[in-house]
Amino acid sequence: MKSFLEQNISQDSLITLFSQAPVAMSLLAGDDFIIQSANPQMLEIWGKGTSVIGRSLFEILPEIIEQGFREILENVYRTGEIFKGNKWPVFLEKDGKYDEYFFDFIFAPVFNDDKKIKGISIVATEVTDQILSERKLKESEYRFEHLIKKSDYPIAIYSTEDLYIEFANEKMLKTWGKDVSVIGMKLEDALPELEGQPFIGLLKDIFKTGETYASKEARADLIVDGKLQTFYYDFSYKPLKSPTGEVYAILNMAVDITDLVLAKKEIQEREKKFRDLADSMPQFVWTCDNRGEITYMNKSWYRYTGSSENENQTSLVKSMMRPETIGKVDQTWEECVRTNTPFVMEYELEDPTQKGNYRWFLGRAIPNFSENGEVNQWTGTFTDINEFKQLETQKDNFLGIASHELKTPLTSLKLYTQFIKNNLEKAGDPKNANVARRMDYQIDFLTGLINELLDVTKIQKGQMQLNESTFDFDKLVDEVVEEQQMTSRHKLFVSRSGAIGEVFADRHRISQVIANLISNAIKYSPNADEVHISTNLYEDQAQFNVRDFGIGIPEDKLSKVFEQYYRISGSKDYTFSGLGLGLYISAEIIKRTGGEIFVSSVEGEGSDFCFRIPKYKN
C-alpha cells in the first residue's frame, strides 16, 4: 500500500485530500506535539490561523492542559493505544471568549518505517449543536414530566392497543385509588372494575380512528379506599401520533367534578321540590332575572291565565297591567334591583275571564344571592287581594261617613260642655267646673281621633288637598311649641342654627306635623322632663328635629313607625293611647309637600324625628 501511494499519489494530492476532508484533521509530530499540519476545519475548531503550523499544540491552546489532554496525548504517544472521545466537553478560548464545546475525536499514533511512533494524528468532529439540542430536549422533557407529575389534574398515558399504563401522575393514581405499582400494567388489569363501563372500549377505538374523544360529567365507578364509589369527570383521550400518523399512545387528562355534579343534582332536587310546592299553592309563584324577564311561573298562573309555558310571560304580565301603572312598577323594580332590596307593590291585573275588568294583586319579590354575593335571580309571588281591597274601601268609606257624622254631635257636645263649665264657674262651683273642663278635654281628644280617621280616608282616596301659601316657618314653630307647652309638664327647649324664614307649603298641615311630632315625643318619654326641638337650613330645605329621651324604638321596628295603624309598644308598665295614625298622616303630608321624613332611635335612650321640606316650590 505504501509503495502504491508513493508510486501513484503525489504529495500535493495527499495535502489536497487532507485539506478538503469533511472532518477536522491534524498531525502532531514528536513528543512536543508540534503541529505539522492542520486542515481548515481543525483551525476553525481551534479558532486559529495557519501561523500555528510548526508550534506546539499546548503553546497555542494552553487552556486544554488543565483539562487532561496532555496526559491523554502522552499516553497515546507512549503506548501506541488509540484514544477515542465521544461527545467530549472541551473549554476553548475563541475571540476572547471562554466557552464550552463538544467533540467526537480520535487520537491515533503515527509510525515511521521502523515501526516507531513519530507523532499523533487527530480526527475530530464538533457536536456542540447536537449536545445543546439534546440538553434542551432533555430539559424540555424534564419540565414537561415535572409539569404533568405536579399537575393539579389527573394525567395518564396509555401505550399500544393493549393499553399499558406508561405514565400516571400522582393525581391520576389518587383518582384510581392505586399506587405506582400499576405503572406498566394493562389498564384493564390495574382497574378491573372498569369492566362493563365504556372507557376501555373508547380507548381502543381511538387507536383505530385516531380521533380525540372528550366527555363532560361522565360517570365512573372506581374502587377507592377499598369500596366501589361513583365519581364524575370531565375528561379527554388525545391520540399521540408518530411522524407517519400512526397512534402509538393516548394521553388521558381528567378533571374531578364529582362535588359539582352532586351539588347540581341537589340543586335540581331542591328546585323540583320548590316547583312541586309552588305548583300546589293558590298564589302565583314566579322567578325572574335582574332584567325582570320571568324564568318560571307555577301551574296556578297558567290555569288562571290560560297561557302556556311557550308564551313570553313577562310580556303577558305587562299586557295585563293597567297601562298608566306600568311606568311606576318599572321604576320601583329598577330601584329594587339597584339596591338589592325586596320588591313590594300593589297593582291591578286584568281578569282573563272578564276583559276590561281588573283585580288587585300584591306583588312581592326577594333577591336570591349566589356564594359571591351577587344576585342570580329573584323569587316572587302575586297574591290576589281584590276582596281585601274592596273590604278596605268599604272600611274607609265607613270610617269617613262615621267620622263625618260624629263631628256634628261632638261639636254640639263641646258647646254644651263649655256652657256648663262657664255656668258652674259663675255659680262658684269649681269642683264640678273642673269635671266639665275634663269632659271638654276628652271631647278635644276624641275630636282629634276623628280628624285623624278623616285624614286617613282622604289620603286613601287621594282627596287630601294642600292649600299652599307663603308663611314664616320660624314663627309657626314658636306658635306650636307655645301651644304644646301649655298642656305639657315637659320642658320644651328650642334651638336654631339661624333663621329659616319664609317657606311655601300648607301652613295648617305643616303645623299638624310639628304638633304631632312634639306630642309623640312627650307621650313616649314618660320618665323624662325635657324634649329638645331644633330647626336649621339644610341646603334649600327647612329642617325640623324633635329629640326625646324616652323609651326609644327597637332597631327592627324603625322601618314600621310611619305605617298605618302602627303603634310603638312600651314596657308592660306603660300603655299609650292613640290609633297609630299620627306618624302615618305626618309622613303622607311631608311626602305630598315634596319633602322627606325619617327617624333614628336607640331603644331605652330615646328617638329623634326629623322632616325636611323645600323652601320654594319647584
pLDDT in the model for residue 431: 85
HSE of 22, CA atoms in CB hemisphere, 13 A:
0
Name the class of domain 469-614.
alpha beta
**Interval 269-308: pLDDT, tens:** 887 887 777 777 778 998 999 888 999 999 989 989 999 9
Q: Is the domain defined by 262-384 classed in CATH 3.30.110.70?
A: no
Quote the CA–CA distance of 348 and 333 in Å, as a whole number. 16
pLDDT in the model for residue 274: 73
pLDDT in the model for residue 267: 79
Largest Cα span, the chain: 176
pLDDT in the model for residue 333: 92
Residue owning grid cell 499540519: 37
Quote the CA–CA distance of 225 and 202 in Å, as a whole number. 26
**What's the CATH code, domain 151-256?**
3.30.450.20
| Cβ proximity of 362 and 383 under 8 Å | yes
**Cell numbers at 183, concatenated:** 405503572
pLDDT in the model for residue 394: 65
Q: What is the DSSP letter of 488?
A: -
| Cβ proximity of 232 and 221 under 8 Å | no
**Cell numbers at 212, concatenated:** 380525540
β-bridge pairing 502-505 and 469-472: antiparallel
Question: CA torsion angle for 470, 473, 477, 479 (degrees, to 10)?
Answer: -40
Quote the CA–CA distance of 557 and 570 in Å, as a whole number. 12
**Residue range(s) occupied by CATH 3.30.450.20 in the chain:** 2-129, 151-256, 262-384
Helices 473-486/507-523 angle, 10° precision: 40
**Cell numbers at 185, concatenated:** 400494567
Q: Which CATH architecture has domain 2-129?
A: 2-Layer Sandwich (3.30)
pLDDT in the model for residue 562: 83
pLDDT in the model for residue 280: 73
pLDDT in the model for residue 572: 46
DSSP states of 62-75: GGGGGGTHHHHHHH
**What's the CATH code, domain 389-460?**
1.10.287
pLDDT in the model for residue 324: 92
CA distances from 146 to 16, 168, 237, 561 (A): 52, 12, 21, 68
How many other C-beta atoms lie within 10 A of the C-beta of residue 177?
15
pLDDT in the model for residue 8: 46
Mean pLDDT by groups of 10 residues along the chain of 618 residues = 44 54 87 91 90 92 91 93 92 87 93 89 91 73 64 87 91 91 93 93 93 93 92 93 86 91 85 76 86 90 90 92 92 91 92 89 91 88 84 63 61 76 82 79 68 64 75 94 88 91 89 89 90 92 94 84 68 53 83 90 92 87
| Neighbouring residues of 489: CB distance < 8 A, sequence distance ≥ 6 | 529
Look up the pTM and report it: 0.40
Helices (H) and strands (E) in the chain, counts: 18, 22
